[in-house]
């Protein structure tokens, strides 16, 4: 049976309106929200790992999407956050377009294979431009969750 992302994305891991305008601000804001939910404790360490990954190469994949990710001992399993940035974020995308949807993955080093499966599944999910448009147009977290679950059910 295929991996299901919804196992790792809970409604509290959806962020409807990121205020950030830059990549670093977006990562800082998402990490702060995740810490506020009690999912991680050491915000500084997780943020530094994410920024370190971005220094190697931007995780903005174009078409308004970024998939920042890192490993951390802060969590036992995989955590996926879906964030919507209606104003767009300068994420250093290769196509030069602003990022409007961020899929942030935090994986435990022991679960390397799970992390890779999640990245592959997200890559399949974002092939649907209609899905991304629905997430960006969502007027609530519930709308984002619904778009996510309906699209994942198709793949």
E strands, 90-126, in order: 99-107
Three-state DSSP state, 72: coil
Task: Quote the crossing angle between the two packed helices 141-154 and 129-137, to the nearest 10°.
Answer: 170
Task: Count Cα atoms within 13 angstroms, Cβ side, for 12.
Answer: 10
Active-site choice (10, 16, 69, 100): 69
Rounded CA separation 63/1 (Å): 29
The yes-or-no answer on residue 115 being catalytic is: no
Residue 98 CB contacts under 8 Å (≥ 6 apart), including other chains: 64, 85, 87, 88, 89, 90, 91
Active site residues: 69
């Amino acid at each position: 049976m295929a991996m299901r992302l919804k196992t790792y994305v809970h409604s509290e891991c959806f962020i409807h309106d990121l205020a950030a305008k830059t990549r670093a601000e977006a990562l800082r804001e998402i990490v702060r929200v995740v810490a506020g939910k009690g999912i991680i404790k050491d915000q500084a360490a997780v943020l530094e790992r994410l920024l370190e990954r971005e220094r190697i190469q931007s995780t903005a994949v174009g078409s308004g999407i970024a998939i920042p990710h890192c490993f951390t001992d802060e969590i036992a399993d995989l955590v996926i956050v879906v964030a919507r940035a209606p104003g767009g974020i300068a994420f250093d995308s290769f196509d030069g377009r602003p990022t409007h949807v961020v899929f942030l993955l935090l994986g435990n080093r022991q679960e390397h294979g799970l992390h890779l499966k999640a990245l592959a599944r997200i890559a399949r999910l974002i092939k649907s431009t209609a899905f991304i448009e629905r997430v960006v147009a969502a007027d609530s977290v519930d709308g984002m969750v619904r778009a996510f679950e309906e699209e994942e059910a198709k793949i």
